[in-house]
Structure 1
Amino acid sequence: MTPDPQTLAEAATWHYAVALAVLALMGALGHVSRAVFNILPDRLSDRPMMDLVISDGYSWTDMVFKTEYDEAGYYRLDSLHNLRLAVCWAMLSGLIVLLLVPDASKVTAYWIDWGLAALVDLFWYRVKTFEW
């Protein structure tokens, strides 16, 4: 349960750094998911404008940012350019949400603090219950 955002402390700079690291991991996971779980190819022809009309997986952002595809039209998993695009989009959109949505940074800071406290408690529990 999330407490009232008015009672939460403001987010510190390190909360934003942790949030950006988590968003970067989510972007990498999105990159892998798009490449691995895509059943149909994104590119169906050699012409980008035709792909915009007939393909569900190909959008104007893919055309503008030059997303890389293999010969069959599938999103390339081994492309560092695609990985960088996915990670940057996730981090940029997450940062915009944290900065512009009211109380989003406070709630994010609360969940980061709660997660770290849970990890510390788990560590000390494991230390106390350790047996040779």
Structure 2
Amino acid sequence: METQAAFWHYLVAPFVLAAIGALWHVARALWAPYPERFTGSKFTDWHLPLGYQLTDWIHETEFDEDGYYRLDSWRNLKVAVALVVAVGMFFVLFSSGVANFFAACMNATLQWLFDLAVFRWQNL
């Protein structure tokens, strides 16, 4: 049985996507094996694979002196959250398949949390 997206799924979606954007920001900052900027020149670093990207150039993403993505930058956090929310909401609003998948994931997560709470309550 396929889950249909309800109105509350659309209301909760930006908050869930914002949390995913914050996690993306933390993951990019903490688990980068190599620096994303090597030369300090925006135009040269553009062509590095899995490094400095066009969106970094457009949004003026901040990097530390060694070329790594800065975790302590509010600008980086705002850009990461805004991009995930904007792109995610675009797909949730204009694709019924994505909206239904998102709703099914949200329902499964809430059911799992409820079952976990009941299990914990029963096994005090």
Aligned residues, how many?
123
Matched, 1:30 2:20: no
Per the normalisation by structure 1, the TM-score is 0.79
Matched, 1:11 2:11: no
Q: Write out the 4+ residue segments of structure 1 that deviate beyond 4 Å after TM superposition.
A: none
Matched, 1:92 2:94: no
How many Å separate the matches in 2 of 1:39 and 1:66?
21
1:81 paired residue number: 75
Please, which runs of 5 or more residues in structure 1 have no aligned partner?
A: none
1:59 paired residue number: 53
Tell me how far 1:30 sits from its aligned partner.
1.1
How many Å separate the matches in 2 of 1:34 and 1:118?
28
Tell me how far 1:99 sits from its aligned partner.
1.3
How many Å separate the matches in 1 of 2:82 and 2:35?
23
Tell me how far 1:111 sits from its aligned partner.
2.9
Change (3 A) 1:129 1:33: closer
Amino acid at match of 1:120: F
How many Å separate the matches in 2 of 1:124 and 1:38?
39
Change (3 A) 1:63 1:113: same
- The Cα offsets for residues 16-39 of structure 1, whole Å up to 9 and x where unpaired, read as 232222221211111111111112
Instruction: Kindly name which structure, 1 or 2, has the bigger radius of gyration based on alpha carbons.
Output: 1
Identity %: 37
Change (3 A) 1:129 1:100: same
1:101-120 aligned at under 5 Å gives the runs 101-120=95-114
